[in-house]
Amino acid sequence: MIKEAVISSSEDTLAPGTERTLAILELLGQHRAGLSLTEIARELDLPVNSVFRITGTLHNRGYLQRREDDKRFVLTNKLFDLSRPQVREKSLVVCALESLKWLRDETGETTQLLTSVNHKMTVLEQCISSQPIKVSSTVGLQVPMYSCAPGKSVLAHLPPQELDAFFAGVKLKQYTPTTLATRSALLDDLAKSRKKGFSTDIAEGLEGIHCVAAAVLDEYRYPVAAVTVMSPSFRLKRDQFEKFGHLCMQAAETITRRLLA
C-alpha cells in the first residue's frame, strides 16, 4: 500500500535556504525602490554572505535586477510572468490585448485586464487613454475586489460557495462615502450586475474615479478575469454607464472566444 506523504510545518521539516530566499523576495516586494545587500541582511537579520549568495542566484536566474547606479536589488517581472493566468494553455493577456486596444479607442479612456488573486484584483495589462487628464495604474497593482467594477463583475459570477468564502475571508471597509461596505448592500449590487451583464464603480475605491467592467468567462461560465474602462468621474458620468458597460461586455465576449478557439 502506498502511503500519502503528510506535509508538516514543524521546524525540523523546513528548508532554511528556501525560507531565506522567500524572505528576501517578500522583503523586496515591499520595497519597490530596491535595497542594498547590507540593507537586506540588516532587515532580515541574516549573514551578509548568505544574502550575497542568494541574491546572486536570484539575479542570475532573472528574478532580481541590480541597478548600476546604486547597486540596489529590485524585483523583476519574472515571478509575475510565471503566474500569469491561462485558459487552455492560452495567455489571457495575449488574447485580450487587441480587445483592450479596441475598447480604449471606442471609449477614449484607459482600459485594463484584471484577474483575482487572494480576494484582490490584480492588473495584468492596460491600454492608457490619450486624454490629457487620464486615470491609469501599474501592471501588478492589487486592489480590493468589492470596491472596484472589475472585482464586482468577477464576484457576481462566482459560485455561491466561493462567494461565501470571500465574505468569510474579507473584512469590508469603507474607502469612500459610496463604498459598498456591508454584505447586504454588496449582494444587492452583485445581483444587479448579473442581470445587466456589467458592473459599475461609482467612486467606490477612490474618489473622483468611475469604472465600468464585465467579466471574462471560460467554457464553464466561470469568471477568469475582467475587462474594465476607468475614467475621471467628471468625464465618465452615470448616463454613460450602460453604453460603456455594453462595450465592456463586447470586449469580454471577444476575449472569451479567443481563449476558447
Residue 69, Ramachandran bin (φ over 0: left; ψ between -120 and 50: alpha; else beta): alpha
- Partner residues linked to 120 by β-bridges: 117, 144
- CATH topology (fold) of 84-260: Beta-Lactamase (3.30.450)
Q: Which residue has the cell 445581483?
A: 191
Cα–Cα nearest to 109, from 137, 128, 132: 128
Output the CATH code of domain 11-80: 1.10.10.10
pLDDT for res 155: 97
Domain extent listing, the chain: 11-80, 84-260
Q: How is 59-90 classified by DSSP, letter by letter?
A: HHTTSEEE-TTT--EEE-SHHHHHT--EETTE
Model confidence pLDDT, tens digit, residues 122-135: 999 999 999 999 99
User: What averages of pLDDT result for each successive group of 10 residues across the chain (261 residues)?
Assistant: 39 75 88 88 92 91 84 77 56 90 97 91 94 91 95 96 93 97 97 97 97 94 94 96 98 94 83
pTM exceeding the 0.95 threshold for the entire prediction: no
